[in-house]
């Protein structure tokens, strides 16, 4: 016999109150981590913009080659394998952050990981803008958003993005 747990508005209010208290109590930490993340993004953008022409052409060639591979009609993504790899990689990072957060010495490691994540995002976005320009970047970003939105329920909706 299964019992159903019903969450009333009282439970939702209690959860909301607990989350708001946690955010208010740790606002300084969230602010510092957000600033470090933004600094990482800016460093990634600056690194791409200040690289020499040979590096820029190599990055553009790599991204254009990747997009040409995706354009191929026979290109299939192994969603299960990709999901497993993604989950394992993210669990590794969560484990490192958890272990580092349990010690005072490890706290700077968390800041380094957050800065690295920001750097990766800034570098990737700048590389896409560099190689595709502003207009095609919007098309690629739209495809990525649609793919990630409908990828979780791949049995019901099959989305194919056409990249130019």
For the segment 96-108, what is each residue's pLDDT rounded down to a tens digit? 988 988 888 888 8
Say whether pLDDT at 159 is over 50.
Answer: no
CA nearest neighbour of 127 among 55, 50, 48: 48
pLDDT tens for residues 15-41? 889 999 999 999 999 999 999 999 999
For residues 114 and 111, give the distance between their C-alpha atoms in angstroms, rounded to a whole number.
Answer: 5
What band does 62 get if pLDDT is binned at 50, 70 and 90? Answer: confident
Residues in Cβ contact with 26 at an 8 Å cutoff, skipping those fewer than 6 apart: none
For residues 39 and 33, give the distance between their C-alpha atoms in angstroms, rounded to a whole number.
Answer: 10
């Amino acid at each position: 016999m299964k019992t159903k747990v019903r969450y009333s508005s009282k439970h939702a209010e209690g959860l909301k109150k607990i989350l708001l208290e946690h955010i208010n109590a740790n606002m300084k930490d969230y602010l510092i981590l957000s600033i470090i993340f933004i600094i990482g993004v800016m460093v990634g953008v600056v690194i791409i913009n200040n690289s020499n022409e040979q590096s820029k052409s190599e990055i553009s060639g790599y991204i254009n080659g990747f997009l040409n591979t995706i354009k191929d009609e026979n290109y299939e993504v192994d969603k299960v394998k990709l999901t497993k790899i993604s989950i394992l990689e993210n669990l590794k990072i969560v484990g490192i952050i958890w272990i580092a957060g349990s010690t005072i010495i490890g706290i700077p490691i968390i800041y380094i990981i957050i800065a690295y994540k920001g750097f990766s995002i800034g570098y990737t976005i700048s590389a896409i803008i560099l190689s595709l320009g502003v207009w095609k970047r919007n098309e690629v970003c739209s495809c990525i958003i649609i793919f990630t939105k409908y990828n979780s329920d791949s049995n019901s909706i099959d989305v194919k993005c056409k990249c130019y």
